[in-house]
Structure 1
Amino acid sequence: MHASAAWAQSPPPVIAANAEVKPWSDPIEALGTLRADESVTLSATVTDTVTEINFRDGELVEAGQRLIQLNDTEERAQLRAARAHEDERRNALNRVTQLQARNLSARADVEDNQARLRQATAEAEALEARLANYRLQAPFSGRVGFRNISLGALVTPGMELVTLDKLDVMQLDFNLPEVHLGQLSPGLALTATSAAYPNDTFEGEVATVSTRVDPVSRSVTVRAEVDNPSFRLRPGMLMQVTLAPTPRETLVVPESAIMPEGQYHFVWYLDASDNHRVVWREVTLGSRREGEVEILSGLDHGDLVVAHGTERVREGQTPELLGVLDDDTSVSELIRQESR
Structure 2
Amino acid sequence: MKKLFLALLSVVIIAGAYGFAFGVPEPIAQLWGGDSTTETTEAPREARAGRRGQGRATTVVLTPLEARSHTLVLRTVGSAVALRRTEVTATDAGEVVETTLQANSSVEKGDVLLRLDDRTERLALEIAQANRDQAQATVTRYEGLRSNGSSVVTDVALSEARVALRLAEANVGLAEVALDDRTILAPISGQLGLSDVSAGDRLASGDAIVTIDDTSSLLATFEVPERSIGLLAEGKPVLVSTPTYAGRVFEGVVTAFDSRLDSVTRSATVQAEIENPEGLLLSGMTFAVRMTEETDPLPVVPATAITWDRSGAGIWLVEDGSTSRFPVTIRYREGDKVWVETEAPLGGEIVAEGASKLREGAQVTAAGARKGPGA
The answer for the alignment partner of 1:6 in structure 2 is none
Judge which range, 296-305 or 82-91, deviates more. Answer: 296-305
Residue aligned with 1:75, SS: helix
- Give yes or no for the alignment of 1:98 onto 2:144: yes
The answer for the alignment partner of 1:293 in structure 2 is 338
Q: Which amino acid aligns with 2:222?
A: F
> CA distance change for structure 1 residues 258 and 101 in 2, over 3 Å: closer, same or farther?
farther
* 1:250–1:295 CA contact under 8 A, matched in 2: no
- Give yes or no for the alignment of 1:160 onto 2:213: no
The answer for the alignment partner of 1:5 in structure 2 is none
- Distance, in Å, in 2 between the alignment partners of 1:203 and 1:17 is 39
- Distance, in Å, in 1 between the alignment partners of 2:304 and 2:81 is 45
Q: Which amino acid aligns with 2:170?
A: A
- Distance, in Å, in 2 between the alignment partners of 1:281 and 1:156 is 78
Residue aligned with 2:84, SS: strand
* 1:258–1:265 CA contact under 8 A, matched in 2: no
Residue aligned with 2:258, SS: strand
The answer for the alignment partner of 1:4 in structure 2 is none
In the alignment, which of 104, 109, 131 is matched to residue 58 of structure 1?
104
- Give yes or no for the alignment of 1:128 onto 2:215: no
- Distance, in Å, in 1 between the alignment partners of 2:337 and 2:189 is 48
- Distance, in Å, in 2 between the alignment partners of 1:55 and 1:27 is 45
The answer for the alignment partner of 1:335 in structure 2 is none
* 2:326–2:342 CA contact under 8 A, matched in 1: no
In the alignment, which of 265, 276, 289 is matched to residue 228 of structure 1?
276
In the alignment, which of 82, 86, 90 is matched to residue 36 of structure 1?
82
Alignment of 1:186-265 (within 5 A): 186-245=234-293, 247-253=294-300, 255=302, 258=305
Q: Following TM superposition, by how much is the alpha carbon of 1:314 offset from its aligned partner in structure 2, in angstroms?
A: 8.4
Q: Following TM superposition, by how much is the alpha carbon of 1:239 offset from its aligned partner in structure 2, in angstroms?
A: 2.2
State the TM-score, normalizing by the size of structure 1: 0.76
The answer for the alignment partner of 1:146 in structure 2 is 194
- Distance, in Å, in 1 between the alignment partners of 2:218 and 2:178 is 34
Structure whose residues are more often strand by fraction: 1
Q: Which amino acid aligns with 1:75?
A: E
Q: Which amino acid aligns with 1:210?
A: D
Judge which range, 108-117 or 52-61, deviates more. Answer: 52-61
Structure 2 residue runs of 5 or longer lacking an equivalent are 1-54, 359-363
Q: Which amino acid aligns with 2:198?
A: S
1:157-197: CA deviation from partner (whole Å, max 9, x where unpaired): 23221111222222222233445445533222222222333
Q: Following TM superposition, by how much is the alpha carbon of 1:114 offset from its aligned partner in structure 2, in angstroms?
A: 0.9
Identity %: 24
Q: Following TM superposition, by how much is the alpha carbon of 1:130 offset from its aligned partner in structure 2, in angstroms?
A: 1.2
1:71-103: CA deviation from partner (whole Å, max 9, x where unpaired): 213312321232232122212211111111122
The answer for the alignment partner of 2:166 in structure 1 is 118
The answer for the alignment partner of 2:348 in structure 1 is 303
> CA distance change for structure 1 residues 160 and 29 in 2, over 3 Å: closer, same or farther?
same
- RMSD of Structure 2 on Structure 1 (CA): 3.6
Residue aligned with 1:318, SS: strand
- Distance, in Å, in 2 between the alignment partners of 1:248 and 1:217 is 26
- Distance, in Å, in 1 between the alignment partners of 2:255 and 2:174 is 41
- Distance, in Å, in 1 between the alignment partners of 2:260 and 2:182 is 42
> CA distance change for structure 1 residues 193 and 261 in 2, over 3 Å: closer, same or farther?
farther
Q: Which amino acid aligns with 1:44?
A: A
Q: Following TM superposition, by how much is the alpha carbon of 1:126 offset from its aligned partner in structure 2, in angstroms?
A: 0.7
Residue aligned with 2:247, SS: strand
Q: Which amino acid aligns with 2:111?
A: Q
Residue aligned with 2:149, SS: coil
- Give yes or no for the alignment of 1:78 onto 2:124: yes
Q: Following TM superposition, by how much is the alpha carbon of 1:53 offset from its aligned partner in structure 2, in angstroms?
A: 2.2
Q: Which amino acid aligns with 2:194?
A: F
Q: Following TM superposition, by how much is the alpha carbon of 1:289 offset from its aligned partner in structure 2, in angstroms?
A: 3.5
The answer for the alignment partner of 2:41 in structure 1 is none
Number of equivalent positions: 313
* 1:278–1:318 CA contact under 8 A, matched in 2: no
Q: Higher Cα Rg: structure 1 or 2?
A: 2
Structure 1 residue runs of 5 or longer lacking an equivalent are 1-8, 331-340
Residue aligned with 1:211, SS: coil
* 2:61–2:368 CA contact under 8 A, matched in 1: yes
> CA distance change for structure 1 residues 40 and 314 in 2, over 3 Å: closer, same or farther?
same
> CA distance change for structure 1 residues 180 and 30 in 2, over 3 Å: closer, same or farther?
same
- Give yes or no for the alignment of 1:19 onto 2:66: yes
